[in-house]
Amino acid sequence: MDPNNPYQGPQAALLETPRPGEATVGRARRRPVGHGWLWWKRAWSLVATNWVLWCLAVLVFFAVILGISLLSLFVPVLGSFVPTLFSPVLAAGLFHLAWRRWGDDDFEFGDLFAGFSNRTGALFLAGLMQLLLQIGFTALMAALVWVAFGPDIAAFFSSAFGSALEPVPEISAGLDGAKMALTGLLVTALSLPYMALIWFQAPLVYFGGRNGFQALGESLIAVLKNWAPMLWYSVVVLLVMLAVGGALALLFVLASTLLGPGVSGALAMVLLSLLALVLGLFLMAVLTVSVYASFRDIFGADDEPEATPELA
């Protein structure tokens, strides 16, 4: 239309949620071991500046996942896997919030659902690939555990293919602690390749314009290239979780011992439960942003990854 026409109706540009393009996301590069701590440190600093909003955002995230999980209870056979289909779409919103705050932009709560307006189809396909991988790894774990330790423990894994409304099989009392510990180690070892495949999948699809299958391969390569800082990062996360969990457990024990079962004791338990909820949401927010921090560092979105972002 003629911009000088006084009779034309008003026009407004369609709003699109901004995000970094594929050009800013390169190939995975190897980073120093110490960056495992740097990712956590930068994420902590970023979340702490808007900790209330971040806790609310994570709470909404889990509320949506819980709602999807409850609805999927009535889906036969694959109901327990349905939330996996939506997880990349919802996770993209948290990563988008992290990207905005990284650039010192305002915290826009509506950006939590940015995955439903940007790269939505690709993110759902990524979720479908995660779902198929989850089914495959669950079947593999159930088969290996069955062969190694017998049907009593493996029944827990095979039950994942049935309806979530069915009762979970009970483990017989004859199983000793050593066998249970070995089972846990085997399951953890088999879970590592799955986690490496999906660790950077959602941000690669959302920020880097990759398809779901390509993102799986690049995520695996990135984790393998950076196994040392990833290991150090895992140790940091474990130590923080143990420290916070231990402190909360000590507070609960002290409150129960000193205040007893009366009204003051019950009130203390409620307050401590709220504190535990807030701390849990805060740590989950830091964990999510630390994944984004490692993504920026490994895939070259940061020119100076050692520098702490200036946060308002």
Tokens of 9: 């109706």
Q: What is the pTM of this model?
A: 0.79
> What single letter denotes the amino acid at residue 209?
G
Q: Chain centroid to CA 137: how far?
A: 18
Number of domains, the chain: 1
201: its two tokens = 């999948």
In a domain, 84, yes or no: yes
- Identify whether 241 is part of a domain: yes
Three-state SS string over the chain comes to CCCCCCCCCCCCCCCCCCCCCHHHCCCCCCCCCCHHHHHHHHHHHHHHCCHHHHHHHHHHHHHHHHHHHHHHCCCCCCHHHHHHHHHHHHHHHHHHHHHHHHCCCCCCHHHHHHHHCCCHHHHHHHHHHHHHHHHHHHHHHHHHHHHHHCHHHHHHHHHHHCCCCCCCCCCCCCCCHHHHHHHHHHHHHHHHHHHHHHCCHHHHHHHHCCCHHHHHHHHHHHHHHCHHHHHHHHHHHHHHHHHHHHHHHHHHHHHHHHHCCCHHHHHHHHHHHHHHHHHHHHHHHHHHHHHHHHHHHHCCCCCCCCCCCCCC
pLDDT at 163: 41
Confirm whether 52 is domain-assigned: yes
Cα–Cα distance between 183 and 204 in angstroms, integer?
33
Q: Give a yes or no: residue 311 inside a domain.
A: no
Q: What is the pLDDT of residue 14?
A: 36
Q: How far apart are CA 159 and CA 178, in angstroms?
A: 23
The answer to the question of residue 21 being in a domain is no
Predicted local distance difference test score (pLDDT) of residue 239: 94
Which pLDDT score, from 0 to 100, does residue 290 have? 95
**288 falls within a domain:** yes
pLDDT for position 154: 56
> Nearest CA to 158 among 173, 147, 168?
168
N- to C-terminal Cα distance for the chain? 42
Q: Are 299 and 208 in contact (CB under 8 A)?
A: yes
Domain extent at residue 98: 31-298
Q: What is the pLDDT along the chain (312 residues), one digit of tens a residue?
A: 454 555 444 443 333 455 665 557 888 899 999 999 999 999 999 999 889 999 999 999 999 888 888 887 776 666 667 788 889 999 999 999 999 888 877 778 788 888 888 888 999 999 999 988 888 887 887 777 777 666 655 555 555 444 443 444 455 444 556 666 677 777 777 788 889 999 999 999 999 888 889 999 999 999 999 999 999 999 999 999 999 999 999 988 888 888 777 777 788 888 889 999 999 999 999 999 999 999 999 997 655 444 444 433
- Please report how many Cα atoms fall inside a 13 Å half-sphere around the Cα of residue 61, on the Cβ side: 26
Residue 25 covered by a domain: no
Q: Is residue 18 part of a domain?
A: no
